[in-house]
Amino acid sequence: MPARSDNSADSLVPILIVDDDVKLCRLIREYLEPLGYAVTAAHTGPEGLAAAAREPFAAIILDVMLPGMNGFDVLRNLRAKSNVPVLMLTGRGEEPDRIVGLELGADDYLPKTFSTRELLARLRATIRRSKVTRAQGESREPEVVVGELRVDPEARRAVLSGQALPLTAVEFDLLMSLAKAAGRVRSREQLLNEVADRNFDVFDRSIDVHISSLRKKLGDDPKSPRFIITVRSAGYMLRQPESEGVA
């Protein structure tokens, strides 16, 4: 069974760590709990899924290499039911692992060589994005309509031709940003600043990966886009209905 901290105060932020390294889980818990987090640890993929189903978490820290079910399969199962923020841990920090995780819906990634301060910064940023988007919904922002696409910031729901789109938190925020600026180019740096809420290396491909995933869910062909246009050396733009002639 997953091991949980004894500190269950309502004010603590609930975090789930899914990692078979018991010592690492203990170290992370000992670091985070004095900072206001209630940490649950699961050490296999199935245990992690079961824990995530039992109670809501503010975020999940998920290792790639897990017994019983690898982290990518755990993430795939999570995303079928939930948009809980997920921070992936990769043993070697290699680009293929990062890209696969992002394509499956991870909100961020971190190599296992991370410092505790970096982990805390990434975790806080991920949770802050989630809180901000909920607060935006509570402020009753108007729905954004671009042709057949309707993006509702209050419900955090995107609908295309009457069909709801199963978007992750980052994908929704990207689409919202592009929809609000429909017909205008948003640079990768602008999207990173608005969506990721942290400083990325300028060569970081995470925005491109999320855009690729978003395009698939929109049924968009990047070679002949109906929705998201790549503007070379500039960024991305959501096509307006009257801009069908734009290449």
Per-residue 3-state assignment (H helix, E strand, C coil) for the chain: CCEECCCCCCCCEEEEEECCCHHHHHHHHHHHHHHCEEEEEECCHHHHHHHHHHCCCCEEEEECCCCCCCHHHHHHHHHCCCCCCEEEEECCCCHHHHHHHHHCCCCEEEECCCCHHHHHHHHHHHHHHHHHHHHHHHCCCCCEEECCEEEECCCCEEEECCEECCCCHHHHHHHHHHHHCCCCCECHHHHHHHHHCCCCCCCCCHHHHHHHHHHHHHCCCCCCCCCEEEECCCEEEECCHHHCCCC
Residue 62 CA to residue 71 CA, distance in Å, equals 6
State the pLDDT confidence band at 198, using cuts at 50, 70 and 90. very low
The reported pLDDT for the residue numbered 110 is: 85
The reported pLDDT for the residue numbered 194 is: 73
Max mean pLDDT range (65-69, 208-212, 231-235): 65-69
Q: How many CB atoms lie within 10 A of CB 130?
A: 19
The reported pLDDT for the residue numbered 127 is: 85
Q: How many CB atoms lie within 10 A of CB 52?
A: 23
Query: Does 234 score more than 80 pLDDT?
Result: yes
**Higher per-residue pLDDT: 146 or 96:** 146
The reported pLDDT for the residue numbered 51 is: 95
The reported pLDDT for the residue numbered 10 is: 55
The reported pLDDT for the residue numbered 246 is: 40
* Pick from 189, 186, 156, 149: nearest CA to 170: 156
Residue 235 CA to residue 184 CA, distance in Å, equals 10
Max mean pLDDT range (75-79, 95-99, 199-203): 75-79
| For the chain, percent of residues with pLDDT exceeding 90 | 42
> What does the pLDDT look like over 115-129, one tens digit per residue?
888 899 889 888 887
Query: Does 203 score more than 50 pLDDT?
Result: no
Mean pLDDT of 51-57: 91
The reported pLDDT for the residue numbered 201 is: 41
**Which domains are delineated in the chain?**
3-134 (3.40.50.2300), 142-243 (1.10.10.10)
Mean model confidence pLDDT for the chain = 82
Mean pLDDT of 93-107: 75
Residue 223 CA to residue 230 CA, distance in Å, equals 9
Assigned token pair, 147: 């042709």
Query: Does 1 score more than 50 pLDDT?
Result: no
Give the phi and the psi of residue 151 in degrees, each rounded to 5. -120, 115
Mean pLDDT of 200-225: 78
